[in-house]
Copies of this chain bind each other. A is one copy, B any other.
Amino acid sequence: MITIKEIAKQLNMSTTTVSNVIHGKAGEVSGDTRKKVEEFLKKVDYVPNISARNLAQNQSKIIGLALKARADKYENLLMDPFVSVLIGGVEETIRNAGYFMMLYISSDTGEIMRHVSTWNVDGLILFGMLDDDGIRVSEKYKKPIVCIDTYSIEGLKHFTNVGLDDEQGAYDIVNYLISQGHRKIAFLSDNTKGVDLARLTGYKQALKDAGISYSEKDFLKIRPKSDEIDKSLDEICKRASDYTAIFCVSDLYAVTLLSRFEDRGISVPDDISVVGFDDNMLAQLHRPALTTVHQDVKLKGVTAADTLLKQLSGKKTPNQIKLPTHLVIRDTVRRID
């Protein structure tokens, strides 16, 4: 590939002049010269060597997107259809701003931070990754970081988080359930942290506001590891008869439960109502179609990227951005009287 030096030699001028034209520094190069250089650049299809540019400027034009990866099927973020949509949103935004995306899938924060340092990445988007260890490590590298769906109190002091109004979304759909006459409503999830906790809180609040009591046993805990999920699901099916409705923390779980119910001859919504959260393709295509809370996943990716870009240009951003959700009523909830 041709270098600036070679171009300068062929045009019989200095590299600085060529460089100035490339960077559009007006007023430092005459119209004539500019034109000559521009034409030549086009002719030889000049492409800068980013390594050299980065070295000289101590930047990288790279934005890292780190995803937490886990081994088991239902634990693995990658299994959820919406992840690739989010990746797409981030990539598009970043590229339009002249940055590049390096994708990193790992659960080892330290490893990621070394990587950040090695590549001198300009900024980082963390999805499902921020633990206390991560916060400590990441403070060492003074790079802008935007988290997605992270509820760490400690983390919010340092980084901005892009997420949903999970609590409100959960509140809305549980409230809808209540409006349809349901009073025995279970909550299904595999943990009580972060996003799941926020949705649990919304669920509890809706119950409380309707004067419905909540007890520990209304939390149906699913175990996502592949060797346990079947057993776990069976247990939940047994306990389902205690409820008229189940609010699943995600569509993935909701649809999984739906198919399990179908297999056991439990009819939705006649025998029991089921709702989810996310509104992904699974929810739309399943029959009965799932009543759920819609989130705009691409927007989430775009917002995270935009926020990071703002920070890179020195602007301040709020440390908590909550995207709205809305209820999508389909066919898995029955009105009871």
User: What residues make up the interface of A, taking CB atoms closer than 8 Å to B?
Assistant: 1, 47-52, 54-55, 60, 65, 69, 76, 78-81, 83-85, 87-88, 91-92, 95, 100-106, 114-115, 117-120, 255-256, 258-259, 262-263, 281-282, 285-287, 289
Identify which of B49, B88, B289 contacts A78 (C-beta below 8 A): B88
- Tell me, in angstroms, the Cα distance from A105 to B91 when the chains sit together: 7
Number of copies of this protein chain within its complex? 2
- Overall SS of chain A's interface: helix
Known: A51-B51, A286-B287; 5 extra A-B contacts, CB below 8 A, are A51-B55, A79-B85, A79-B281, A81-B281, A92-B105
Q: Is the CB of A115 within 8 A of B102?
A: no
Residues of B within 8 A of A95 (CB): 104-106
21 A-B pairs within 8 Å (CB atoms) are namely: A48-B118, A51-B55, A55-B55, A65-B103, A69-B88, A78-B87, A78-B88, A79-B81, A79-B84, A79-B281, A80-B84, A81-B84, A87-B103, A92-B105, A95-B104, A101-B104, A102-B103, A103-B103, A259-B287, A262-B287, A263-B287
Q: Is the CB of B118 within 8 A of A49?
A: yes
Residues of B within 8 A of A84 (CB): 78-81, 83-84, 87
Q: Is the CB of B47 within 8 A of A55?
A: no
Residues of B within 8 A of A118 (CB): 47-50
Q: Is the CB of A85 within 8 A of B81?
A: no
- Tell me, in angstroms, the Cα distance from A60 to B1 when the chains sit together: 15
- Tell me, in angstroms, the Cα distance from A153 to B328 when the chains sit together: 46
- Tell me, in angstroms, the Cα distance from A56 to B76 when the chains sit together: 38
- Tell me, in angstroms, the Cα distance from A6 to B115 when the chains sit together: 21
Residues of B within 8 A of A119 (CB): 50-51, 100
Residues of B within 8 A of A117 (CB): 1, 47
Q: Is the CB of A120 within 8 A of B51?
A: yes
- Closest Cβ of chain B to A250, distance in Å, is 13
